[in-house]
Every structure is written in C-alpha cells, then in structure tokens.
C-alpha cells in the first residue's frame, strides 16, 4: 500500500476525532457532518479513484481494510461513506477492466461530487435486479417516479444512484440504473430516519415524483432480473464494504468487553472477573467467532481485486462473506453485553450503542433469506432467477 496512504489517509488523530463525536451523532440523531468534512479533506472520498484520474487508486481489498478501521471508531460514519465509496469503486473496477462507460463518474467524484445509493424500496427484497419504481422513456432521458428508503448521505449527496423499472421497453421490461443530480426538480427528501441504530447515516427517504434524468446520467439499462458486470461489481463493493464495517464493530465490542473484565470486581471472586471461568469461556467464544471472519473477508476481497475468475459463483461468495460477518458481529456484541453485566444497559456505555448498530447489519441486503437462496441455488446449479414451481 502507498506509504502516503498508509500514513496520512486516516491518521490516529483523525480517528480519535471521529471517536469523540460518534456518541453525539447517535444521541442527537444527526448526520456526521464534521466527520464527512474531515474525510473529504483527507482525500478519503477519492480512495478508489484510479491515480490516473486523480484518486488514491486503492483496490477493493485495500479499501475494505480502511473501512474496517474507520468502523472500529465510528460505525455510522463508515457505513454512510461506504455508499459513495462503493459507487466510485464500481466505476473504477470497470474502468480498469477496459469499460470506460462510467469514466464520467470517476471524473465527477474527483471533482468533488458525492454519490449516494437509492436502492431500498418497500416490498422489494431483490435490490438492483427488480424495482417498484417507475421509469418512463421521454426525449433525451427518463422520467422517474419512486419512493426510495435507506438513502444514506441525505444532507450531502450530489448524485443519487437509483434504479427503476421501464415496464414497456421494447423486448420486455428493463431496469434503468441512473444518477439523479441534486438540483433536479421533482423530488423531495423526507426526514424519516429515526431508527434503532446507525443513526448518524441520516438515511432518509427520497420521494421522486416525475423527475427527469438525462441520458448522460444513465449508467445501465438491463433486462429485469438480469445482471452483468455492473451489477455483480456493485454487489462486491457494497456488500464487502458492509461486511467490513460490521467486522470493525465486532472488533471494537470485543476490545471494550475484554478491557472491562480485566478491571471488573465481584464479591464472588478474589481477583478480577477476568479470572472467572465462565467469563473466560465467553471471551473464548467471542475470539473463536471472530478468528474465521477476518481471513474470510480478506480472502474474498483479495481474490476480487486480483481478478480471480469464479464465474457464476461470485454472487454466492460475496453474500456468504457478508452474512458471516454480520452474524458474527451480532453474536460477538451480544456476548460482550453478556459479560458487561448491567453496565451495558446504560446509554452512557458504548456497548449499548454498538449493540444497536450491530443489529442493523442483519437488515442490510442481502438478508438471511436471500443469502441462503443464492448460496443454495448456486451449490445446486440452479439459475438464480428460477422461480419455485409447486404441484
């Protein structure tokens, strides 16, 4: 990794600043604006842009390690910024592979534009491949209507990445993947974000009512349910980013719990609770749970970055890594709360926030049901678009 990046991108001083603000963002349910400005000034928003186009030129494997480190100190900040990072990383991977169709995204990101993700829709558990949103073909572009949710970076995005169904397209329904500029008319941001955890992301709803997006901001038009390199790469960058965020949360919870039991006293033991056999058992369970996750994430991200050809099994490999990370995170944080005793119930205890943040990972796509469907069908050689037939 470039020494300038290693030493300067996320310095200890910068991370300490994030750590001091994270509880306030959560408590006040407000966007991590100060963190965002610090990250922007540090060049973090250009982390995955190729050096030839003015960025840091890091691969998915390198970015995942930075996201993990950032999440250790400020989970919501890492999760929110991941939306921008994964769009830019997607464009960068395609660019390096010879597909220059999204070079405009890289150039706009290098110039300071901020990309957000607008894929969440009520009633749609298969994001990107299908959509409840409507795309109508008009002269020069598309007119879009939608109600999107979980759209992180609401206060600062300048390009809103979204998808919508073009139902009457010639040859059958197609999904339009586009980026809506913030100065577009015909949409509104609805402040709905008052949630269990990851509150600092400010992932408010976006209601789009006939907004026009010109063709120059249309990234792909694909058959409904169909996937190409654009879709698979989006999943790789998004889900591996999510996975490493929640692994960072698990690491933080582990360190807090272990540190606390080393000083915690009880009338039932002559030394600290670290010498209690059952506390040792729980700490071992946490450690054993985490031991397999980090190497798994690193292996998948490195193989992706190195261009290893796993063909049609890549989606299963990606969702598997994310699933293992968020499930391990939930288990580790829950066990950390177990040995914290009553202290973990208090809002002033960092574990209380981490417990709520950790639960959010299991809401993120792909959820457990979709993961098992993708992995099961892949193992059985069944097309992912195959629908069950009964009788």
CATH for 132: 2.40.110.10
Cα 159 to Cα 105, 145, 180, 274, 320, distances in angstroms: 9, 16, 5, 50, 30
Write down the pLDDT at residue 211: 98
Interval 291-312 mean pLDDT? 97
Interval 296-313 mean pLDDT? 97
The encoded tokens of residue 347 equal 């809002």
Confidence of residue 4 (pLDDT cuts 50, 70, 90): very low
Q: Are 255 and 351 contained in the same domain?
A: yes
Domain count, the chain: 3
Q: Are 233 and 353 contained in the same domain?
A: yes
Interval 34-57 mean pLDDT? 97
Interval 212-241 mean pLDDT? 96
Q: Are 160 and 47 contained in the same domain?
A: no
Q: Are 243 and 359 contained in the same domain?
A: yes
205 forms beta bridges with: 190
Q: Are 56 and 196 contained in the same domain?
A: no
Q: Are 350 and 255 contained in the same domain?
A: yes
Angle between the N-to-C axes of helices 350-360 and 75-96, in degrees from 0 to 180, rounded to the nearest 10? 40
CATH number of domain containing 53 = 1.10.540.10
Which tens digits make up the pLDDT trace of 141-188? 999 999 999 988 999 999 999 999 999 999 999 999 999 999 999 999
Is the pLDDT at 122 greater than 80? The verdict is yes
Interval 126-150 mean pLDDT? 96
Q: Are 98 and 19 contained in the same domain?
A: yes
Calpha distance 249→26 (Å, rounded): 15
| Reduced DSSP (H G I as helix, E B as strand, rest coil) percent helix, strand, coil of the chain, to 5 | 55, 15, 30
Q: Are 241 and 365 contained in the same domain?
A: yes
Confidence of residue 390 (pLDDT cuts 50, 70, 90): low
Confidence of residue 341 (pLDDT cuts 50, 70, 90): confident
166 forms beta bridges with: 174
Write down the pLDDT at residue 391: 44
Domain that holds residue 321: 229-380
Kind and range of the H or E element at 138?
Answer: strand 134-138
């Amino acid at each position: 990794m470039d020494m300038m990046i290693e030493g300067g991108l996320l310095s200890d001083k910068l991370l300490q600043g994030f750590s001091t603000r994270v509880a306030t963002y959560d408590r006040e349910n407000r966007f991590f604006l100060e963190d965002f400005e610090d990250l922007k000034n540090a060049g973090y928003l250009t982390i995955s842009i190729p050096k030839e186009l003015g960025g840091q030129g890091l691969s998915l494997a390198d970015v995942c390690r930075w996201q993990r480190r950032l999440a250790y100190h400020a989970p919501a900040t890492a999760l929110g910024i991941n939306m921008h990072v994964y769009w830019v990383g997607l464009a960068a991977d395609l660019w390096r592979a010879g597909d220059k169709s999204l070079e405009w995204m890289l150039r706009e990101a290098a110039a300071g534009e901020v990309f957000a993700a607008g894929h969440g829709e009520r009633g749609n558990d298969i994001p990107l491949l299908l959509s409840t949103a409507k795309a109508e073909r008009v002269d020069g572009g598309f007119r879009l209507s939608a109600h999107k949710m979980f759209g992180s970076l609401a206060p600062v995005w300048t390009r809103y990445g979204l998808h919508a169904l073009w139902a009457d397209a010639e040859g059958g329904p197609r999904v339009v993947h586009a980026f809506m500029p913030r100065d577009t008319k015909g949409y509104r941001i609805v402040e709905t974000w008052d949630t269990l955890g990851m509150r600092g992301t400010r992932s408010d709803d976006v209601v789009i009512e006939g907004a026009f997006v010109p063709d120059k901001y249309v990234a792909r038009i694909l058959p409904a349910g169909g996937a190409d390199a654009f879709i698979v790469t989006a999943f790789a960058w998004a889900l591996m980013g999510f996975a490493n965020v929640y692994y960072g949360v698990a690491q933080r919870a582990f360190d807090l719990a272990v540190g606390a039991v080393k000083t915690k006293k009880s009338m039932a033991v002559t030394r600290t609770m670290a010498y209690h056999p059952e506390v040792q058992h729980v700490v071992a369970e946490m450690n054993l749970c985490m031991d397999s996750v980090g190497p798994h994430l690193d292996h998948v991200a490195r193989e992706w970055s190195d261009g290893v050809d796993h063909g049609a099994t890549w989606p299963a490999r990606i969702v598997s890594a994310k699933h293992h990370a968020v499930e391990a995170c939930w288990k580790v944080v829950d066990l950390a709360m177990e040995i914290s005793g009553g202290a973990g119930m208090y809002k002033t205890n960092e574990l209380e926030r981490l417990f709520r943040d950790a639960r959010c990972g299991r809401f993120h796509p792909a959820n457990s049901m979709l993961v098992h469907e993708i992995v099961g069908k892949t193992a059985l050689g069944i097309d992912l678009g195959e629908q069950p037939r009964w009788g």
